[in-house]
Structure 1
Amino acid sequence: MYTALRLQKRLKPQLKLAAEGHGGVCVTVLDPDPYMTYQPFLPEAAAGSISPRHVVVPLRRVLTGCQILIGEARSFDHERRVAHVATLATAEEEGEDATFELPYSELVLAPGSVARTLPVPGLAEHGIGFKTVEEAISLRNHVLEQLDIASSTRDPDVRDAALTFVFVGGGYAGVEALAELEDMARYACRYYHNVQAEDLRFLLVEASDRILPEVGAEMGRYALRELRARNIDVRMETRLDSCERRVAVLSDGSRHPARTLVWTAGVRPHPVLAASGLPLTERGRLRCAATLRVAGVDHAWSAGDAAAVPDLTADTDDAVCAPNAQHALRQSRRLADNLADSLEGADPAELTPYRHAYAGSVASLGLHKGVAHVYGRKVKGYPAWLMHRVYHLSRVPTFNRKARVLAEWMLSGLFKREIVSLGSLEHPRAEFESAAGGRRGTRPS
């Protein structure tokens, strides 16, 4: 989206000519969703601090000069410069595997990453991811439903399992999601006559010997102390061996019946890269030059999590930029400028290489709590939390979204949290189907 937005600005006259049918340039954005998700806000959306509509940016509103095509690329023939694309229309008309050829002159591959899963028994059946806004809202509804289950059951085993929440992965996604949802669940307990905050059990499982490695060792240790001070059970150097029958079995031999298991143990490059026919690294990312061109390939570009871009600020020659938003946003703009220069006749040797020294990281540990390591300075507590909010408010695209998010933050400071579960949204036809069938049905929990 950021690359297309920059191209829309740089190539405005050419795009106007194309729209009028007089040649020019056409920018087509292909994506399975009609919006871009600002992922750093997912934990706050899950906790109810931000409306899910304001975590996403509608592509058609932002990219008014581009053509938006909702679908997914299945494979590429770069020699012929065509992408094999599947859309909802082709699936309904010709079958799930049907595709059509979408020609291009320049290809920008930026599909990002997907959750990296392991062959853990029971994970596919009971695990919940945390990569999309749909998953974040579903997790919020699920957590609140577990409080309802615990409040209404007389079975102590069911109650204990409902009030046990297991998070696997101690990176940004896992720690921020756990911290925000723990805050929300403890607040919600005051409205249940028979569920106390002390009854909740949150468990964080991390395979390495530290959490939040991005903020440095010292701030990681502070975050660990902060979580444990809130009675969150953090298991370091521990793996999830199984979660069959809703029982989390850990590598330390412990067993934890739990109806909630959130998987945030890393990401991997999008599978479409393997079908691109372009050169990949051993980790499955596109091998790129510092100018954001795919190495050794003309007319192909990449940025973000999908691209292995040399880090020109590192001390070693083989270092590549980390797959995070800080690099992705800047790479997208540099890619667009280089692509525009190339279309205007610039020689490949004249393109500007991407260079950015890592500025640091900020992380939220729940309401009014956070850690940060920015430009060598270590910050914790309320100042770090405020820094986290200010930074991401400045980065979320469009003034519309900035204003709406800021307004919601201000209103949340004046009014109480929302603790309504709208789990029925995930099964909108359940009530009608049960009525049409002449019986009273129940939706899955």
Structure 2
Amino acid sequence: MAITPTFSERPRVLVVGGGYVGLYTAFNLQKKIANSGGIVTLVDPLPYMTYQPFLPEVAGGNIEARHAVVSHRKHLKQTELIQGSVTSIDHENRTAVVAPADGGANIELPYHDVVIAAGAVTRTFPIKGLAEAGIGLKTIEEAVALRNQVLDLIEQASTETDPEARKRALTFVVVGGGFAGIETIAELEDMARAAVKLNKRVDQSELRFVLVEAMGRIMPEVTEKQAVWVVEHLRSRGVEVLLNTSLDNAEGKGIKLINLPDKTVAQEFEADTLIWCAGVMANPMVRATGFPIEPRGRVSVNTNLQVTGEFGVIPNAWAAGDVAAVPDVTGGLPDGTCVPNAQHALRQAKRLAKNLWASRFNKPLKGYKHKNLGAVAGFGPWKGVAKIMGIQLKGPLAWLAHRGYHGLAMPTVERKFRVIMDWFVAVFAGRDLAQLENLDNPRGAFVAAATPAPKPAAKPAPAEDAKADPEKSEEKNGAKETAAAK
């Protein structure tokens, strides 16, 4: 007998997306809404929220992958969770259609309020070969795969006899000079050099790291003086930093770089690893919501985080985070909206939850306002850069500020504790340099063991003497002729 899943019939606050905004909105509302007779429903294709600032450290082996994610089921116990994707929203009739992640039949959910919190996805450009050769660093799966790939290529190169193949395996390219790109190349460079120290068949001089940035400077969040220091720091570690340079082609593991703005060829070489960290954009699913979208592809909202259209506020519709064009009254992007980062998303979620709850009782709403306190970045143990409330730091102090800030910002006490313990262990034991093999085919070894070995081919039946051995046949014929003569 088929089983039909049941969903709550209570008045619903539908949260679309389980990242920073979705997790915190549901967490702050679930108890209040439940006590008032309603329910919070969170829909996301994944069963966890990823703390993305930790992805470079996951790729670099400093943080265990599962510790950088927060389980929805463990921490949203009063929230109705659906693993799937919202494919359309009919706000006039207060209904949404959800496609389950397992491919089952679509689900139609009625709701009272909807919160658009679908976050951002990697922004790419139509560069030949990029989709086939590149890997991003936006998900925990990408971070784990990247870590294993770098370590595996070093191991492969150690036994490679073809000089060109060996050179290609030990060349690592990162495109994008923002925080994600800089932290990624720094963490991977540190990890790769630690791995090579344990492998006598590979020399440190064979490792090649290339950072490609289309602008004339890196890390716009820090001062120009600090940005120059970061470039000098990376170059002192052997990283090639190429400014005013763009990726033009990546077909067949070939990397073609061009100078900007004249578009002349800068370099051409081969690399087995191409990492894309050149920015993000609002999740395209917002176009299926029917809500007003501004030129950058984000949902239009006011400072209260209410969705707004041509005729003003759209009742019972809310949005925040990277997917929303939230006005920044303190000064943010050139268009006056908030920078898409974790610092804003976490705070917007808390403000959204308070405003949504206040709207139930027709209480005044409070606009979102947060002045960016600064920026911190880590480049491996005891290395980093930071700008905190105008104070510029670099080296060990910046690294400690980076860990202190993100240790506090990591959602939930349980996850904070796990991450801090990872850092504590790494101080004494160093990075975890063990790569995991065959994650894309975990059943391979079992299938090979469980598959019966092919039976040996049957031996051919003895042939006639003449066909089997002509020489013996001639001897027998000769013997017969001699006997006949006698």
Q: 1:7 to 1:205 in 2, by over 3 A?
A: closer
Letter in 1 for 2:151: L
Please give the residue correspondences for 1:213-232 in structure 2 after superposition, counting only pairs within 5 Å: 213-232=220-239
The correspondence for 2:47, drawn from 16, 34, 38, is 34
Measure, in 1, the Cα distance between the counterparts of 2:242 and 2:300: 36
Query: Matched residue pairs, number?
Result: 425
Q: Which residue of 1 aligns with 2:130?
A: 123
Q: How does 1:191-270 map to 2 (within 5 A)?
A: 191-252=198-259, 253=265, 254-270=267-283
The one-letter code matched in structure 2 to 1:233 is E
Is the CA contact 2:385–2:398 (under 8 Å) kept in the aligned structure 1? yes
Offset of residue 430 of structure 1: 2.5
Give the structure 1 partner of residue 407 of structure 2. Answer: 393
Query: Letter of the aligned partner of 2:348 in structure 1?
Result: Q
1:268 Cα deviation (Å)?
0.9
User: Equivalent residue of 1:278, what SS?
Assistant: coil
- Identify the residue that residue 306 of structure 1 maps to in structure 2: 323
For residues 110 and 29 of structure 2, the distance between their equivalents in structure 1, rounded to whole angstroms, comes to: 22
Closer/same/farther in 2, CA of residues 130 and 194 from structure 1, 3 Å limit: same
1:266-345 to 2 correspondences below 5 Å: 266-295=279-308, 296=312, 297-314=314-331, 319-345=336-362
Q: CA deviation at 1:423?
A: 2.8
Deviation by residue 1:313-337 (Cα, 9 ceiling, x = unmatched): 2299951111111111111100000
Deviations 1:50-79 (A, max 9, x none): 110100010111111111111111121111
Note if contact 1:113-1:270 (Cα within 8 Å) is conserved in structure 2.
yes
Give 1 or 2 for the bigger CA radius of gyration: 2
Q: How far did 1:233 drift?
A: 0.4
User: Structure 2 vs 1, CA of residues 355 and 429 (structure 1 numbering), >3 Å: closer, same or farther?
Assistant: same
Question: Residue 380 of structure 2 aligns with which residue?
Answer: 366
Question: Following the alignment from structure 1 to structure 2, what is the Cα–Cα distance between the partners of residues 104 and 47?
Answer: 42
For 2:428 and 2:206, the matched residues in 1 are separated by 28
Amino acid at match of 1:351: L
User: Where does residue 187 of structure 2 map in the other structure?
Assistant: 180
* Distance apart, 1:299 and its partner CA: 1.1
Deviation at 1:3, TM superposition (A): 5.3
Amino acid at match of 1:131: K
Separation (CA, whole Å) in 2 of partners of 1:62 and 1:87: 21
Paired amino acid for 2:407? L
Q: Does 1:110 align with 2:117?
A: yes
C-alpha distance in structure 2 between counterparts of 1:36 and 1:84, whole Å: 22
Superposition pairs for residues 83-102 of structure 1, below 5 Å?
83-89=96-102, 91=103, 93-94=104-105, 99-102=106-109
Contact 1:208 1:236 in 2 (8 A): yes
* 8 Å CA contact 2:333, 2:339 repeated in 1: no
Q: 1:165 aligns with which of 172, 193, 212?
A: 172
Mapped partners of 2:231, 2:154: distance in 1: 26
* Cα distance between partner residues in 2 of 1:282 and 1:5: 27
Quick one: percent identity of the two aligned structures? 45
- Alignment partner, residue 357 of structure 1: 371
- C-alpha distance in 2, partners of 1:430/1:132? 25
Q: Normalising by the residue count of structure 1, what TM-score does the alignment of the two structures yield?
A: 0.92
* Amino acid corresponding to residue 217 of structure 1 in structure 2: E
Unpaired runs of 5+ in structure 2?
1-17, 260-264, 455-486
Query: Runs of 5+ in structure 1 lacking a partner?
Result: 18-23, 441-445
Distance 2:424 2:333 in 1: 45
Match of 1:443 in 2: none
The 1:82–1:434 alpha-carbon spacing in structure 2 relative to 1, beyond 3 Å, is: same
Deviation string, structure 1 residues 189-238 (Cα, Å, up to 9, x no partner): 01111101221000000000111111221211111110011110011011
Shift of 1:100: 2.3
**Which of 159, 162, 186 pairs up with 1:155?**
162
For 1:386 and 1:169, the matched residues in 2 are separated by: 24
| Distance in 2 of aligned mates of 1:364 and 1:316 | 24
Higher relative contact order (CA 8 A, sep 6+): 1
Equivalent residue number for residue 21 of structure 1? none
Please report the TM-score for the alignment, with normalisation by the length of structure 2. 0.84
The two structures, once aligned, show a CA RMSD in angstroms of 1.9
- Higher strand fraction: Structure 1 or Structure 2? 2
